[in-house]
Structure 1
Amino acid sequence: MVFKEIAIKYKYSIALILLFVLIENVSFIIEPTFFGKLLDSLIDHFYDHEKVDYVYPLIIWIIVYLINVVGGTLHRLFNGSIYSRMYADIATDVVIDSKSHGDQFSKVLVRAELVKEYIVFLKERLPEVMWQLSATAGAIIALFFYDYRIALVCLAVVAPIAYINNLNRKNVTRLQKNIHDNQEELFGLIESRDTSKIGQFYNNTIAPKTSIARWNAFGYSSVKVLLIIIFIGVLFICVDVDKFTTGRIYSIVAYLWTFIASTDYLPELMESLASVKDLNQRFSGDEKIYENSTIPS
């Protein structure tokens, strides 16, 4: 598979980016716990200035926050340069390989263009995958320490959410194949200078793109409806939380919101996964074309 070859060839560059993403994500996930403790310390200090010191919780929270900032900064700093160079190198190899096999110029162009979707997945979707996994797992684990009932409510909807999005991915994969087929046909029309069918080409792209939008809307709305279960369950549980404090309630709400927000990018992620799967199938018959890459891994 081409994607597998790319991942292996550039494993160290990709791992470096994902390390920064992981640092950013983990610090973001644990931050509500420390901010909740800081909030309780500030409230207690207001009522009893001598017995409660808020400085230590404040320092800890600032450190966690700065770690999040550093991780996010390094992620964005290296993200553009690494993946831009990676695309330039891979696209060049695709063109050279296609020409060596005597492919038509239109096929050479479309393959070089389609490879960009691999880079988009690595640059944008892969960090989103890490965010969704770490946010979901991290939020559920953190909520167990506050009240296991809230964590169980969140855990109960994970399987239905996974099923809905897997169904979405399977249907979108078929539609992405149609879109990629149309892209190859477009370059063929341009090469042959047959402009009479250009309008027909663009009309043919409407149906699959509309269907993808419908499936994305279905996945998004279905997941959000399921999450209503969490809201309702947590409303009743929060009033019964042991050692009820403002900071604890803040932390619970923050982790709950993190869990819910982690589902926002699922439709786009499923669409990108479907696109990558179709590209793998298209390139699976080709020779390995990434053996002579020049970018350091």
Structure 2
Amino acid sequence: MLKDVPITIPALLAAFLWRIGLTWVLTFCETALIALIPLFIGFAIDGLLTKDTTALFQLVAAMAVLIAISVIRRAYDTRVFGTVRVEVGKAQAARIPDLPVSKLNARLAMGREMVDFLENDLPLVMAALVQLIISIIVLFAFDSVLALAGAGAVVTMLLIYALFHRQFYRLNGHLNQQAERQVGILETRKPQRLLLHLSRLRSVEVRLSDTESILYGAIFVVLLGLVVFNLWYATTSLPITSGTIFSIVSYSWEFVESALALPVTLQGWSRLSEITKRINSAK
């Protein structure tokens, strides 16, 4: 399936299009239902306050469908992406049979990371985008100012991440390069060399963690500011019911949770860019 083509995300998608496509459809349905649950809860609250249980039964039905789709998707995903991992590993081993064992071992693990990105990170960003869009639509339905505040927060967040992309790419390159040496270092049976290797890994991991901490701290400030603003604006400027204020707060917080998935995925893409270049190299 992957013969004579570079091992990249587009190549994997082309080779397993229909199988991966079905997981995306299930992910989309699951995410859309999750995103609509707070709205159903808000309707149910307003309905129960007037002794009307129709919205409550609609909420129960939506949650039942959500559970069924979630179970089916997870069982299917494991089988599909397990097959993709086998094909990627087989293609890697066939292309670079003369590569030192240390590098081949590390690159097989990196190849699995590419599949992990397809299985975990890419559906995560798809789900996040669906939730962001639904959240903005719902907030806009309540008041355009709430939606504009959310859109402004996303733009600010992406600009913040752009400042960190090069740093993530560079540090992941150092981490992967050191990982390729591990088996060879273990084969020497020299404690000092192993200690130096582990210390270097730790140093890069600490720098990656510090960079992540600064990034997420800055993003959290922006997103929590959004929640505070929307709560203040809704309670001081809009004529609302208890169910409506619950929905506004819920969708503002859901917006925050889904927005946080974007930098996680972008960071994964930074690492994946370096991995893709490395595993398609013959050296």
With structure 1 as the length reference, what TM-score do the two structures score?
0.86
Structure 1 contact 83–119 (Cα < 8 Å) conserved? yes
Match of 1:84 among 48, 68, 82: 82
Q: Quickly say closer, same or farther: Cα 1:192–1:95, change in 2 above 3 A.
A: farther
Deviations 1:54-80 (A, max 9, x none): 233223222222222222112211122
User: Higher mean Cα deviation, 154-163 or 258-267?
Assistant: 258-267
Q: Give the deviation of 1:196 after TM superposition.
A: 4.5
Equivalent position SS for 1:115: helix
User: What is the rounded CA distance, in whole Å, between the counterparts of 1:241 and 1:74 in structure 2?
Assistant: 44
User: What is the rounded CA distance, in whole Å, between the counterparts of 1:264 and 1:156 in structure 2?
Assistant: 14
Q: Quickly say closer, same or farther: Cα 1:198–1:243, change in 2 above 3 A.
A: same
RMSD between aligned residues: 2.0
Provide the residue aligned with 1:29 in structure 2: 35
Structure 1 contact 147–241 (Cα < 8 Å) conserved? no
Q: Give the deviation of 1:227 after TM superposition.
A: 2.0
- Percent identity between the two aligned chains: 20
User: Higher mean Cα deviation, 58-67 or 128-137?
Assistant: 58-67
Equivalent position SS for 1:244: coil
User: What is the rounded CA distance, in whole Å, between the counterparts of 2:57 and 2:109 in structure 1?
Assistant: 49
Q: Which protein has the larger Cα radius of gyration, Structure 1 or Structure 2?
A: 1
Provide the residue aligned with 2:3 in structure 1: none
User: What is the rounded CA distance, in whole Å, between the counterparts of 1:67 and 1:149 in structure 2?
Assistant: 33
User: What is the rounded CA distance, in whole Å, between the counterparts of 1:91 and 1:195 in structure 2?
Assistant: 31
User: What is the rounded CA distance, in whole Å, between the counterparts of 2:280 and 2:145 in structure 1?
Assistant: 47
Match of 1:165 among 146, 152, 161: 161
Segments of structure 1 that go 5 or more residues without pairing to the other structure are 46-53, 287-297
| 1:156 has 2:152 as partner | yes
Amino acid at match of 2:70: G
- 1:209-220 equivalences in 2 (<5 Å): 209-220=205-216
User: What is the rounded CA distance, in whole Å, between the counterparts of 2:228 and 2:54 in structure 1?
Assistant: 36
| 1:199 has 2:195 as partner | yes
Match of 2:72 among 65, 74, 87: 74
Q: Give the deviation of 1:271 after TM superposition.
A: 3.3
User: What is the rounded CA distance, in whole Å, between the counterparts of 1:169 and 1:70 in structure 2?
Assistant: 38
Structure 1 contact 169–273 (Cα < 8 Å) conserved? no
Amino acid at match of 1:130: M
Structure 2 contact 7–88 (Cα < 8 Å) conserved? no
Equivalent position SS for 1:157: helix
Amino acid at match of 2:7: V
Q: Give the deviation of 1:172 after TM superposition.
A: 0.8
Structure 2 contact 165–267 (Cα < 8 Å) conserved? yes
Match of 1:133 among 123, 129, 148: 129
Of the two structures, which has the highest relative contact order with CA contacts closer than 8 Å and spacing of 6 or more? 1
User: What is the rounded CA distance, in whole Å, between the counterparts of 2:99 and 2:123 in structure 1?
Assistant: 34
User: What is the rounded CA distance, in whole Å, between the counterparts of 2:20 and 2:166 in structure 1?
Assistant: 27
User: What is the rounded CA distance, in whole Å, between the counterparts of 1:280 and 1:65 in structure 2?
Assistant: 39
- Number of aligned pairs? 276
Deviations 1:113-159 (A, max 9, x none): 22111122112111211122112221111100111111111111111
Q: Give the deviation of 1:242 after TM superposition.
A: 4.3
Q: Give the deviation of 1:270 after TM superposition.
A: 3.5
With structure 2 as the length reference, what TM-score do the two structures score?
0.90
Q: Give the deviation of 1:106 after TM superposition.
A: 2.6
Amino acid at match of 2:234: C
Structure 2 contact 230–249 (Cα < 8 Å) conserved? no
User: What is the rounded CA distance, in whole Å, between the counterparts of 2:267 and 2:206 in structure 1?
Assistant: 13
User: What is the rounded CA distance, in whole Å, between the counterparts of 1:196 and 1:237 in structure 2?
Assistant: 61
| 1:43 has 2:39 as partner | no
Amino acid at match of 2:44: L
Q: Give the deviation of 1:192 after TM superposition.
A: 5.5
Structure 1 contact 79–123 (Cα < 8 Å) conserved? yes
Deviations 1:190-240 (A, max 9, x none): 355565411111111122111110111111110111123313322331124
Provide the residue aligned with 1:227 in structure 2: 223
Provide the residue aligned with 2:7 in structure 1: 2
